[in-house]
Structure 1
Amino acid sequence: MAHHRVANQVRILKNRLLMLLMSVSVLAQAQTTSDAFLPGDLLPDAPELAPRGRFAVGVRTLKLVHKAQLDVLHTKDGTSPTYDRPLTVEVWYPALIPAGKAQLVTYEEVLGRANDPKRPLVPFTFGGRALREAEPDPAGGNPAGGAYPLVIVSHGYPGSRLLLTYLTENLASKGYVVVAIDHTESTYRDLSGFPSTLLNRSLDDLFVLNEMARLGAKNANNFLAGLVNADNTALIGYSMGGYGALNVMGAGYSAQAVKFFGQLANGSTALQTRTLSDPGFKASLDSRIKVMVAFAPWGMERGVWDAEGLAGLTRPSLFIAGSKDDVSGYEKGIKAIYEGAVNADRYLLTYVNARHNVAPNPPPAATLKPGQPLDDYQHFSEPAWNERRINNINQHFVTAFLGLHLKGLDYAKYLTLPENANDSPWNGFKPRTSVGLEMRHAKP
């Protein structure tokens, strides 16, 4: 009898321990998802347009294939074979969240570089505020009427489609369909030769625009059917993404860029098709893309554009840069692009004393682990700025710029500002919080 009593007590203790462990697990999960600070969450001093909009957010992954593309990484004697180029994209969109479902998602990413033995790929996860595979919110819920405007996002080299989730989720919550591209041969997982990035950035952007238009057609057999208006598109690019975005918007590459490309790609002249002198270049410019946001665009210091090429940019553009950018350059790099784009209505937002990382999510927790290479942390970090604050400021200004041009909202006051925020407070910022920023504006 005593044996049975002891056995029962052991079972009771085991059950209680199991319940305790389950409670701890649930609590830990809550603290690392709903209660934790996730990319894009607001700091107390976030500017006025940084908060999320009225829409819940869904997210899905799509696999696309761009057929018969030049494989410039296998060029021999100037001739390249072709291949079917796979492109994975992530799509965020206004969504309906069922009762009892949390608007939370776990993203899977890696640190390191695919082609660097000293920086092996290290998987990690981080959270976001969206629901995987959620049902779309019908476009009729859009206050502007019709389908939602499209935003295409292009990452750096290397990078991934998940590098700017603080911004992609935020824009989707404000009534945009946002698609971010994994540029093949340019991500952490598959990083390969630079010529692929130099050629394919603009081509990938245009292909994804066409695919989103196809998938968003009213009669399409797809969750995007009737949801997205590809005729009202913005293009956002960071670093090499900005390099490609400028070209898509009309800034044809220079003869020097073609020569540089040929030196890297075994004599290939494929980049010639993206220059102003090529007969097909102007025909490729797509009027469906209305505006561009270019974070720290690369290339000007390498002679990728000349005055004639930059003059080809004619659509409204927002440039965002750090005044100490040591990758793309500032005075002779990003600022020179802004000054040379004489035919565009353009803005230049500058983070004073920031370097190159003015676009990505904050450094993930995985970069803080002992023994992790410093380069992984510095791929995200800004030495003189709080990255979460940069994220909030970017949310504010990108919202203002896209809202003004794609939705006709009365947001000009958030962009028409004194050049130096240290001299006079800026609209939309709490007292004493716009310090360290500059905004320039020039018209054609």
Structure 2
Amino acid sequence: MKFRSLLFSLSLFLILLNGLLIPSVHAQSGAFLYGDPLPDAPELSARGEYNVGVQTINLVNNNQVDIINSKDGKDPLYDRPLTIEVWYPASISDNTKTVVYDEVMGTANDTLRPLTPFTFKGRAYRDATPSTGSKFPLIVVSHGYVGSRYLMTYLTENLASKGYIVVAIDHTDSTFKDANAFQSTLLNRPKDIRFIINEMEKLGAQGSKNKLEGLVDANNTGIIGYSMGGYGVLNVGGAGYSEALAEFFTGMTGGSTSIAVNTANNEEYKKLADDRIKAIVAFAPWGMERGVWDGEGLKGLKTPTFFVAGNQDDISGYEKGIKAIYDGAVNADRFLLTYINARHNVAPNPPPAEALAPGLHIDEYYRYAEPSWDQRKLNNVNQHFITAFLGLHLKKQENAKYLELQENSNEKDWIGFKPRSSTGMELLHANPAN
């Protein structure tokens, strides 16, 4: 009995000592919020030097193809509304309050959308005064189908704190609240991304009278996409769609050829090349297993690209999906970070508290969660590698040491990771063929 009491006392002492030596994130900064570092978070996941402001902007892209109402090969036009959320380095006054994000959902009879709305706190400050004195590189973020501009706030806030203007798009017809026919997503992803880059350049120009006037360096742009967002950013970055996709789209829409402009062999597509884009991040990009991409189209991707995938991805596929895209993009300096045993949700915020309520369909949880990984860990690792990659290409930072790693993370600790924390991952790197 005395031995058991002594053992219990020793165990309690060690637990208390551990708590003193390694205080939790909660103890340091209150409740855990999306994007906060876990105790084993890698080095570059830490927030940067800037406070972060955030504002919502409503835009309209005029005279766009109304593909949902296309009929008999005729494409009517409409004015396409787009809402964006913009995070930026900011100066904070004493009475400024941190943001609460409000995720609006669809209706009970629509199976495409989750039924449980939710709110969550962030560490950005709503409509705060921007920091001035220099321009900041632009980053545009495109969510999955379905999703929203709030799907990756752990990353958008984090990057803004490091000196970027970060814009996340609500893609009309593709969000939790308004998901519509899939042909709209196929057609509009690259168009939306190009439009937002152009609009952000205007908002950042002298005389715009926007908060961001004089602050946006659109000539130094990075684009980030997840799933269908990955489909979009790769096309904007130079990977033309296949002729097979154009044929499928025409059949799907009753004769519309409007997507053909984005195919690899179309001269109009080649004119869309945008040298303002210096870096691409593609989380679980969709389409390779569906014939969206082929070798010829992938050769057009020449911008440095960082791919992120789970090797058990059952939406985009891995060996014949994401990794095949990585292998086929022979003219790009490219990386592929693979989470072993992860599926498709390698990019989103963790599941909200509402998704954990008893009695809900499990899909409410698996819209965000990974079965084999802690989403907070994925978030921290994503923050680390994307900070290294974008910093290298958009800020000319000396970050190569964080990217030039042995392939298998289990062999030894990756640089920037705490001891014993870099397990279960692979990192591939390939130089461009020419």
TM over 0.5: yes
1:54-133 correspondence to structure 2 within 5 Å: 54-102=49-97, 104-111=98-105, 116=110, 121-133=115-127
Give 2:33's aligned amino acid.
Answer: L
1:265 equivalenced with 2:265 (yes/no): no
Give 1:51's aligned amino acid.
Answer: A
Give 1:376 deviation, angstroms. 1.4
Pairs aligned (count): 407
Q: Indicate if the aligned counterparts of 2:116 and 2:355 stay in contact, CA closer than 8 A.
A: no
Structure 2 match to 1:35: 30
Deviations 1:401-441 (A, max 9, x none): 00000000000000000000011221000011100010000
1:113-262 correspondence to structure 2 within 5 Å: 116=110, 121-138=115-132, 140=133, 146-262=134-250
Distance 1:377 1:283, change over 3 A: same
Look up the SS of the partner of 2:267 in the other structure: coil
Look up the SS of the partner of 2:78 in the other structure: strand
Range with bigger deviation, 105-114 or 171-180: 105-114
Q: Indicate if the aligned counterparts of 2:148 and 2:171 stay in contact, CA closer than 8 A.
A: yes
**Alpha-carbon distance in 2 for matches of 1:114, 1:276:** 40
Deviations 1:66-100 (A, max 9, x none): 00000111111111110000000000000011025
Range with bigger deviation, 330-339 or 269-278: 269-278
1:247-396 correspondence to structure 2 within 5 Å: 247-396=235-384
**Alpha-carbon distance in 2 for matches of 1:389, 1:159:** 21
1:401 equivalenced with 2:389 (yes/no): yes
Structure 1 match to 2:16: none
Give 2:259's aligned amino acid.
Answer: L
**Alpha-carbon distance in 1 for matches of 2:112, 2:201:** 42
Look up the SS of the partner of 1:178 in the other structure: strand
Look up the SS of the partner of 2:44 in the other structure: coil
Give 2:152's aligned amino acid.
Answer: L
Structure 2 unaligned segments of length 5 or more: list them.
1-25
Give 1:268 deviation, angstroms. 1.1
Q: Indicate if the aligned counterparts of 1:105 and 1:129 stay in contact, CA closer than 8 A.
A: yes
**Alpha-carbon distance in 2 for matches of 1:267, 1:252:** 20
The TM-score, its normalising length taken from structure 2, stands at 0.91
Look up the SS of the partner of 2:71 in the other structure: coil
**Alpha-carbon distance in 1 for matches of 2:111, 2:368:** 20
The TM-score, its normalising length taken from structure 1, stands at 0.89
Q: Indicate if the aligned counterparts of 2:221 and 2:394 stay in contact, CA closer than 8 A.
A: yes
Give 2:413's aligned amino acid.
Answer: P
Give 1:324's aligned amino acid.
Answer: Q
Q: Indicate if the aligned counterparts of 2:137 and 2:163 stay in contact, CA closer than 8 A.
A: yes
Q: Indicate if the aligned counterparts of 1:301 and 1:329 stay in contact, CA closer than 8 A.
A: yes
Structure index of larger Rg: 1
Distance 1:126 1:329, change over 3 A: same
Structure 1 unaligned segments of length 5 or more: list them.
1-30, 141-145
Q: Indicate if the aligned counterparts of 1:110 and 1:121 stay in contact, CA closer than 8 A.
A: no
**Alpha-carbon distance in 2 for matches of 1:385, 1:136:** 36
Give 1:120 deviation, angstroms. 6.2
Give 1:262 deviation, angstroms. 1.6
**Alpha-carbon distance in 2 for matches of 1:70, 1:350:** 37
Deviations 1:286-316 (A, max 9, x none): 1111110000000000110110000000010
Give 1:373 deviation, angstroms. 2.2
Please, what is the CA RMSD of the aligned residues? 1.6
Q: Indicate if the aligned counterparts of 2:142 and 2:225 stay in contact, CA closer than 8 A.
A: yes
Give 2:374's aligned amino acid.
Answer: N
Give 2:226's aligned amino acid.
Answer: Y
**Alpha-carbon distance in 2 for matches of 1:255, 1:336:** 18
Look up the SS of the partner of 1:61 in the other structure: strand
Structure 2 match to 1:50: 45
**Alpha-carbon distance in 1 for matches of 2:298, 2:366:** 31
Give 1:106's aligned amino acid.
Answer: V
| Aligned sequence identity (%) | 62
Structure 2 match to 1:24: none
Structure 1 residue ranges (4+ consecutive) displaced by more than 2 angstroms after TM superposition: 99-102, 110-115, 117-123, 370-373
